[in-house]
Amino acid sequence: MNQNGFKKAHKLDDVCYDIRGPVLQVSDQLERAGHKIHRFNIGNPAHFGFDAPEEIILDVVRNLRNAQGYGDSKGLFSARKAVMQTRQLDGLLDTEIDDIYMGNGVSELINLTTLALLNKDDEVLVPSPDYPLWTAAVSLAGGKPIHYNCIEDDEWQPSISDIEAKISSKTKAIVVINPNNPTGAVYAKQNLEQIAKLAEKHKLVVFADEIYDRILYKDAVHTPMASLVKETLCVSFNGLSKSYRLAGFRSAWLVLSGDKASASDYIEGLDMMVSMRLCANMPGQYAVQTSLGGYQSIKDLVLPNGRLYEQIEYAYERLTSIEGITCVKPKGAIYLFPKLDPERYPIKDDQEFILEFLKQQNCLLVQGTGFNLKTNDHVRIVTLARKDRLDILFNRFEEFLQKNY
């Protein structure tokens, strides 16, 4: 070992994932010291008492013996068939089973697809704010994330003009996160159509992260990117973590659609990547067929009087009653992304802000810059907790703001 010790790889210099970052480490230390920490930083349904349907668990248990060996590198046939049939029911009739790849969560599939596509300094358009794994994965793959603006005053819809202005000769792909994490925005079909046209015009791969497509409130409608992208490659991502409350099973999939012929070399590289990891988690794949078939219990949770709907409505009303806080009302997903008036709350460093909130009030949030937002005036709040726990958060947040500002 050299005098300075072992160093992390340089490719990690521009990578951050603040959802599980430095502030979380402090919260763990506080918890070990005996403090009760109220965590509102990670969208983990099981942590908040959202259990998966019993029949899914039973199906996995019954198939454990069948899951002992390696499986097909692209995934279990029954799982891929269930994904194909679900997409066909959603109107995506041209989906074929060979278009489907199972993975160890969408996170793994994001890493595989970016590694297979990007060369050094290739650019990928990523929304701001974004789910930060996308920015990190592009950087790890040697690419350069270019953030396009989503407009808060327009319900966090993507800025089509900003996207167009940032396309260059180095741009290889565009990421669309819909419904969006962290904002809860559900994108208007006309905006998605314009993104699809730009991607087709410039021959960009469209990465469509649609993990929250079943978590929609009131009259919100999700439009799959695969239904709009025809003249270039579209890669759609989904899984069991959120709508089916099976985050720990790490069972997810990607689906190729659109102009696959022109992407044959890239698909060959993707096949190579999934083969090298041997196979996705086999027990988790046995949950897919049962999850996607039959009655979808998520429907009850997002209807009026459903737990997800009631909690996000309550959280929104309680949060926006605090002086100096505004929030675009989410139409999907499980988060609030409020803005703190910078004149009322002049926050210079939002990570220090949430760290102080944690130390003073034992509540854990994530700062807005952790989602590649440029300003220091937002935080993300997970709305999976029951109302009594949400009350603890908002009462303490209001007290913290009054005391410190």
Give the phi and the psi of residue 158 in degrees, each rounded to 5: -65, 145
According to DSSP, residue 348 is labeled: S
pLDDT in the model for residue 6: 79
Q: Which residues of the chain have pLDDT under 50?
A: 1
Query: Could you tell me the two tokens for 277?
Result: 């990891």
10-50+300-404 CATH fold: Aspartate Aminotransferase, domain 1 (3.90.1150)
User: Domains of the chain: which residue ranges?
Assistant: 10-50+300-404, 54-292
Q: Where are the beta strands (DSSP E) in 187-274?
A: 205-209, 233-239, 251-258
Query: Could you tell me the two tokens for 230?
Result: 């025809």
3-state helix, strand, coil in the chain (%, to 5): 45, 15, 40
CA distance readout (Å), 225 to 157, 234, 241, 315:
15, 7, 20, 30
Paired residues of 101 in beta bridges: 254
Report the phi/psi class of residue 151: left, alpha or beta, with left for phi > 0 and alpha for psi in -120 to 50. beta
Paired residues of 39 in beta bridges: 364
Alpha-carbon Rg for the chain, nearest whole angstrom, is 21
Residue 305 contacts by C-beta under 8 Å, 6 or more apart in sequence? none
Q: Three-state SS for 259?
A: coil
pTM above 0.75, yes or no: yes
* pLDDT above 90: percentage of residues in the chain: 81
Q: How far is residue 250's CA from residue 245's CA, in Å, rounded to a whole number? A: 11
Compute the C-alpha angle 206/208/214, nearest 5°.
160
Q: How far is residue 188's CA from residue 191's CA, in Å, rounded to a whole number? A: 5
CA distance readout (Å), 140 to 61, 134, 166:
36, 10, 21
CATH 2.40.240.10 is the classification of domain 54-292? no
**For residue 338, cis peptide bond before it (omega within 30 degrees of 0):** no
pLDDT in the model for residue 16: 67
Q: Three-state SS for 257?
A: strand
Q: How far is residue 89's CA from residue 294's CA, in Å, rounded to a whole number? A: 12
Query: Could you tell me the two tokens for 366?
Result: 């994530």
User: Which uninterrupted H or E stretch holds 336?
Assistant: strand 335-336
pLDDT in the model for residue 3: 61
pLDDT in the model for residue 19: 56
**For residue 53, cis peptide bond before it (omega within 30 degrees of 0):** no
Q: Are 148 and 165 in contact (CB under 8 A)?
A: no
